[in-house]
A and B are shown apart, each in its own frame.
Chain A
C-alpha cells in the first residue's frame, strides 16, 4: 500500500531532470514527497517538519543540484540524515555498576515488556555469563507473574518466587534483597503495562524507580505505534529516567517511524530491537535498517552507489 520513496522521488525528479539542472524549487518539491513518505511511515509531524528543514539545507547546499542523478542524491541525503537522527553510534546496555545491577522495564500495555525481559535476561546469561534474577511487578494483569515464571523455566533463569498480594514497590525491594543474598549480577524488574495518561499508575512506576535505583530503565515500545509515540516517550521520560528504548515487533511490516520520533524528541538511544516472539529474537539496534524501513525500501546506500 505504501509507495516507496524511490518510486515517488523518481517520478518527481525524473520529470525535472529532463529539463536539465535542478533548481532550489525542484528540491523543495521533491521534499514534499519525502514529507508524505515520512508521515505515512508514522513519523510524528513536528519531527517530520524539522527533518525536512535539515535535509533541505543540506541538499541545497551540496552536490544535489549539480549531480548527474539528483533523485538518488536526494535519497542519499535523506537516508544519511535519518541515520544521523536515529543515532549512528551503537549504544550498549550498561553493565557497569555495583551488583546487583537493576534493570527496569516500562511501557504501555502489551508493548512486549515481559517477553523482552526474558530475552534480555537470556542474552545476559548466555552471552555475557551473568547471573540474572527476573521479578514480575505486574500485579494487575491476569497471570502476568505466571507468564514471567514460565519464561524463567523455559530459559533456566531464576525468577523471584511469587507472593500473592504483595505490591510492586515491596516486590522490587524483595527482588533486590534476594539478589544481594544470592550473589546475582543483574535483577530485571518487569512492570505492569500502563498508559502514559494514567496518573496513578505513572506514580506507582515512579515509586518503584525510587526504590530500586535502576541502572537501566528501558522503555519498551511497539514499532507499529503511531503519532502518539512522541507523547508516550515524553511522558515516561518525564516520570522516570529512561536510559534506553527497546523497539519491538520489528518482524512486522510496519514502517517504524515512531522510532525516529521518539529518538528525536527524547534523545534516548534505541538500544535493542525485538524481532519475534521467540526468546532469542533480540538484536542490536542498527540505524541503517530502521532508516531503510522508514523510507520503505531495501538497501539504499548500495542503490545509490550503483546509480
Chain B
C-alpha cells in the first residue's frame, strides 16, 4: 500500500475552508510541480480543475477527486499492457534506458511472467560494459528458468544481439528479451551503439525489435522527458516501464510524459523481487498521486 503523497497532504493544507481563487490555483499548481508533474502539465491540470469551480468553496476531498479525474484522463489512453505477438517466433524486445533505471531487473520480472504463462523465453546479456552485468542477468536466468546468451566482457553488443536472435529462432522461443548497458541519452557515441544494435537485429528480421521498452526510474525529475524524447528518436521506443514505485506515490513525471508524448505505459516496478511487476493501472496511479481514499 502506498503512503499518501506530498500532493495529497498539501491539498489538505491549502483547501481547508477556502475558495478556489487565483491564489489557491497557483498554490495547487505549485503542489503539482512538487509532485514532479512539471510546470506545463501542472498549469494545465490546475486550469482544468478551476474551470468549473472558480470562486466556489471547495473541500480538500473534492479537489483530490477532481485531480484524480484529471490525471486519470491523461493516463487512461496510455495504460496499455504489454502483449506478446504470438505470430513472431520470437517476439524480440529490446530494453533500453539510462544507467541504473532497472532494465535488468525488469527483464527478470518479465521473464518470470512469461515463463509462468508457459512461454519459452531467452535472455540476451547485451550489457557487455558494466562489471557483473552478465552475472546479474544469469542469476535472473537461473531464477526464471531461461537460457541466457552471453559474450565476453567488452564484447560487441550488436554481435551478441545477433547471436541471441539466431539462438532464440533456432530454439523456437516465444520471447527474446535483450538487455542493454545503461546510457545517458546525451551521449551520442553510446546512442550510436544502440542504433547499431538495431541495424544488426533487423538483418535477421526487418520488423524486429517488435518492442523497444524504455525503463524509467520513478525518482527521476524533469529529465525523464528528455530521456523519452531522445531514446524515442534513436530507437523508436514502443512503450515505457516505470520502476521503483514501491512504497510511495512518486513518478509524477509520468503524467507530464503521457501528456506530451502519449506513449504506452506497459508496466510498473514495485520492488526488487521477481513478482514485483504490475500492469500500469491509470486510475490507481492517479488516485495514489492525488491521495484519494487517504486521510
A binding-site residues for B, Cβ under 8 Å: 1, 36, 39-42, 44-45, 108-112, 140-144, 146-151, 154, 195, 197-198, 222, 224-229, 231-232, 249, 251-255, 257-258, 277
Contact = CB atoms under 8 A, between A and B. Distances in A.
Contacts of A40: 38-39, 222
Interface string B171-195: 0000000000010111100000000
Contacts, number: 140
Interface in B207-231: 217, 219-226, 229
Interface in B100-159: 100-102, 108, 129-132, 135-136, 138-140, 143
A252 B220 contact: no
B99 interface: yes
Contact of B35 (A140, A227, A252): A227
Contacts of B61: none
B136 A226 contact: no
A41 B182 CA distance: 23
Given A150-B132, A253-B185, A255-B223, 17 more contacts: A39-B39, A110-B217, A142-B135, A146-B136, A147-B130, A147-B136, A195-B247, A222-B217, A224-B98, A226-B252, A227-B221, A249-B98, A251-B184, A252-B185, A252-B223, A255-B222, A258-B221
Nearest to B2: A197
A210 to B, nearest CB: 24
Contacts of B224: 224, 226
16 contacts: A39-B39, A42-B221, A45-B33, A109-B102, A141-B272, A142-B108, A142-B135, A150-B131, A197-B247, A225-B219, A231-B6, A249-B98, A252-B98, A254-B221, A255-B223, A257-B221
Nearest to B250: A228
Nearest to A112: B100
Most buried by B among A42, A109, A249: A109
Nearest to B10: A45
